[in-house]
């Protein structure tokens, strides 16, 4: 199945509309990069809406969103290729490619989330702290992205054996990286809302949920671009992915309930309960109930169950809603841990702190989403045929 890179090009996607969309997205990416560089040069507390009390904002949550999604895509690619879940195979190559794109996006966001990104690269290698989850997650995501690049290169060159080997390594490191991303929150005793082992399960189930949702959305869009109908094995693959997505939505829902149950009915210290109340009936309640629970989990689950995961439009809609819910969930997770002042009750501090992303932050986030779209279109156009060679 060896193929030259030139042979993989989808000529029909060189249409004017695709080209213009690609150019437009590239402009957004440039704007995002410019805003990020500006923030790095001027300082985050000037360019971003962050403060001493809320040092992590929408960039950190967006990083978590793309990193978790890349884990899910990487796992999806691995189980379809390496672990013999054959019905998913038609989606495997695209999942691997999208995992690379989302990992690159996550790294872009990570770079703009820290004040000195170049020092991060250097000291991550020169002065590692093995007890730090940030060190582990950045290192493991680095290894994962390297393995994914190699895997993709071997897929292009037709070396299936090597592609599988690197796929397995990437999947293992992806799980480790995802666990450390979860550990960044769950291992910290303060703030107490982040503490708890359920979050790790939530992160993993959420990763597969986001991965399946992403691959469904982009596969459907890819077929729309080619003006092809989804039939045969691809249709079956999407049905399998949708079933997996429904299962994960159910698991995430159960774990979310368990998480809040354990916060309210265990010995969680007061700041943890106050933070949880911010989500239940406080300033984050709309985010939590409308986006996280209803849009992100319940409606997609009902849609998928009612259509028995057969309908393409239903699964696409469910996937889009699940991704919206997942994005809001990452934001709520990051912000809810900082929303309660550490010296609550003193200095006339409000019960809940305020945070709203600055213009620079929003531009970087738009740039990040555009990078995924840009990468997707480039992939479909220049190596699009590979996604059918499974």
Binding-site member from 23, 310, 342, 354 for other proteins (CB under 8 A): 342
Length of the chain counted residue by residue: 390
Nearest to 110 by CA among 99, 122, 120: 120
Whichever of 7 and 270 has its CB closer to other proteins, that residue is 270
Residue 266 contacts other proteins per CB under 8 A: no
Place of tokens 């200095």: 347
Contact pattern from residue 312 through residue 341 relative to other proteins, giving x for each residue in contact according to CB under 8 A and a dash for the rest: -------------------------xx--x
Q: What sign does the dihedral 229-233-239-240 (CA atoms) show?
A: negative
Q: How far is the CB of 109 from other proteins (least distance, A)?
A: 13
User: Using an 8 Å Cβ cutoff, are 244 and 211 in contact?
Assistant: no
Torsion angle, CA of 13/16/22/27, rounded to 10 degrees? 170
Residue 124 contacts other proteins per CB under 8 A: yes
Total residues at the site for other proteins (CB under 8 A)? 45
Q: Report the site for other proteins in 200-259 (rule: CB under 8 A).
A: none
Nearest to 189 by CA among 278, 285, 267, 287: 267
Scanning 2-10, 40-48, 82-90, 249-257 for contacts with other proteins by CB under 8 A, the matching segment is 40-48
Whichever of 21 and 40 has its CB closer to other proteins, that residue is 40
Whichever of 83 and 135 has its CB closer to other proteins, that residue is 135
Q: How far is the CB of 129 from other proteins (least distance, A)?
A: 5
Whichever of 188 and 253 has its CB closer to other proteins, that residue is 188
Whichever of 136 and 154 has its CB closer to other proteins, that residue is 136
Residue 269 contacts other proteins per CB under 8 A: yes
Quick one: residue 318, left, alpha or beta (phi over 0 = left, psi -120 to 50 = alpha)? alpha
Residue 347 contacts other proteins per CB under 8 A: yes
Binding-site member from 45, 228, 266, 281 for other proteins (CB under 8 A): 45
Q: How far is the CB of 359 from other proteins (least distance, A)?
A: 20
Whichever of 64 and 319 has its CB closer to other proteins, that residue is 64
Say whether 158 sits in a helix, a strand or coil. Answer: coil
Q: How far is the CB of 62 from other proteins (least distance, A)?
A: 15
Nearest to 73 by CA among 130, 7, 152: 152
Q: What is the token pair recorded at 307? A: 């259509």
**Rounded Cα distance, 161 and 227, in Å:** 33
**Rounded Cα distance, 279 and 300, in Å:** 21
**Rounded Cα distance, 99 and 175, in Å:** 13
**Rounded Cα distance, 13 and 11, in Å:** 5
Scanning 88-96, 113-121, 213-221, 322-330 for contacts with other proteins by CB under 8 A, the matching segment is 113-121
Helices (H) and strands (E) in the chain, counts: 14, 0
Residue 115 contacts other proteins per CB under 8 A: yes
DSSP state of 348: T
**Rounded Cα distance, 168 and 151, in Å:** 10
Residue 375 contacts other proteins per CB under 8 A: no
Residue 129 contacts other proteins per CB under 8 A: yes
* Neighbour tally for 231: CB within 10 Å: 9
Say whether 254 sits in a helix, a strand or coil. Answer: helix
Whichever of 28 and 112 has its CB closer to other proteins, that residue is 112
Binding-site member from 18, 143, 164, 188 for other proteins (CB under 8 A): 188
Scanning 28-36, 188-196, 225-233, 322-330 for contacts with other proteins by CB under 8 A, the matching segment is 188-196
Could you list the residues that contact other proteins (CB under 8 A)?
Answer: 43-45, 52-53, 55-56, 113-117, 119-120, 123-124, 127-129, 131-135, 138, 184, 187-192, 269-271, 337-338, 341-348
């Amino acid at each position: 199945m060896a193929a030259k890179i030139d042979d993989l090009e989808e000529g029909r996607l060189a249409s004017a509309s695709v080209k213009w969309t690609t150019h437009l997205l590239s402009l957004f990416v440039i704007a995002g990069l410019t805003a990020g560089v500006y923030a790095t040069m001027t300082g985050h507390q000037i360019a971003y809406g962050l403060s001493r009390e809320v040092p992590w904002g929408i960039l950190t949550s967006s990083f978590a969103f793309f990193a978790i999604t890349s884990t899910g895509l990487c796992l999806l690619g691995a189980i379809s290729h390496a672990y013999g879940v054959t019905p998913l195979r038609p989606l495997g190559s695209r999942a691997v490619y999208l995992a690379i794109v989302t990992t690159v996006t996550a790294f872009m966001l990570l770079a703009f989330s820290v004040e000195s990104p170049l020092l991060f690269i250097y000291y991550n290698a020169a002065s590692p702290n093995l007890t730090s989850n940030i060190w582990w997650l950045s290192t493991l995501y680095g290894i994962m992205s390297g393995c994914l690049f190699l895997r993709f290169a071997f897929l292009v060159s037709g070396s299936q054996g090597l592609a599988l080997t690197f796929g397995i390594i990437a999947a293992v490191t992806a799980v480790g990286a995802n666990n450390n991303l979860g550990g960044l929150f769950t291992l910290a005793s303060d703030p107490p809302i982040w503490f708890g082992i359920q979050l790790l399960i939530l992160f993993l189930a959420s990763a597969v949920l986001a991965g399946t949702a992403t691959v469904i959305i982009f596969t459907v869009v890819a077929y729309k671009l080619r003006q092809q109908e989804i039939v045969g094995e691809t249709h079956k693959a999407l049905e399998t992915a949708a079933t997996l997505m429904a299962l994960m939505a159910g698991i995430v829902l159960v774990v979310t309930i368990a998480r809040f149950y354990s916060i309210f009915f265990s010995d969680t210290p007061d700041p943890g309960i106050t933070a949880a109340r911010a989500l239940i009936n406080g300033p984050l309640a709309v985010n939590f109930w409308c986006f996280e629970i209803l849009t992100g989990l319940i409606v997609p689950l009902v849609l998928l169950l009612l259509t028995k995961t057969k309908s393409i439009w239903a699964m696409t809609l469910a996937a889009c809603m699940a991704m919206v819910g997942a994005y809001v969930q990452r934001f709520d997770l990051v912000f809810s841990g900082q929303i309660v002042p550490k010296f609550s009750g003193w200095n006339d501090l409000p019960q809940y702190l305020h945070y709203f992303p600055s213009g620079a932050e929003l531009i970087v986030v738009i740039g990040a989403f555009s990078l995924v779209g840009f990468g997707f279109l480039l992939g479909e156009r220049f190596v699009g045929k590979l996604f059918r060679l499974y």
